[in-house]
Amino acid sequence: MASALRTTEQIKSEFAFNFAKNASALGSNYKNYVKKLPMLIKTNGLGASFAFMFSKKYKEEGKYWNQIGSDIYNWLKNQNKFDGNKVKNFEELVAHLNTVNSIEYRMLTAEVLSFLTWLRRFADGLIKGE
């Protein structure tokens, strides 16, 4: 009999699979940006990386960064990593990062990187192109 309890990794995997599947309509640019984001975060930090993503909002590549930001926001919201009544979208999540203490900031960074590991894998498998 299969256990009704699922691990956080299984839930994370399911979310990432669904996000990557839905983003397949965006094409290979989504996949390429998802693959670049972990190194961007490790190099510049979560706040600076989110600010970079946000800065692309009205540019050609904005639709890809906005979708990735939305996917990250929805995952973190599902895991109750912030007050969903106060932080309602990716833009507010970017602002919220300025208010968290260093422990919460590191926890959010680790959670985002962990989520992106799954999202990268599924985007690579579900989205055609380089």
Residue predicted with more confidence, 6 or 15: 15
Among 5-9, 53-57, 124-128, name the one with the lowest average pLDDT. 5-9
Task: Indicate whether 1 belongs to any domain.
Answer: no
The mean of the pLDDT values for the chain is: 93
Q: What total of structural domains would you count in the chain?
A: 1
pLDDT in tens, 47-101: 999 999 999 999 999 999 999 999 999 999 999 998 878 899 999 999 999 999 9
> What's the pLDDT score for residue 85?
83
Q: Measuring CA to CA, which residue among 107, 96, 98, 113 is closest to residue 37?
A: 113
CA distance 75 to 126: 19
Q: Contact, 39 vs 90, CB < 8 A?
A: no
> What's the pLDDT score for residue 1?
43
CATH of the domain at 46: 1.10.520.30
Residue predicted with more confidence, 1 or 46: 46
Task: Indicate whether 75 belongs to any domain.
Answer: yes
Task: Indicate whether 3 belongs to any domain.
Answer: no
What mean pLDDT comes out for the span 97-112? 96
Angle (CA) 106 109 115, round 5°: 140
Task: Indicate whether 39 belongs to any domain.
Answer: yes
| Residue 57: other Cβ atoms inside 10 A | 14
Which domain does 79 fall in, by range?
11-126
Q: Measuring CA to CA, which residue among 34, 4, 3 is closest to residue 121?
A: 34
What confidence category does residue 5 fall into, taking pLDDT thresholds of 50, 70 and 90? confident
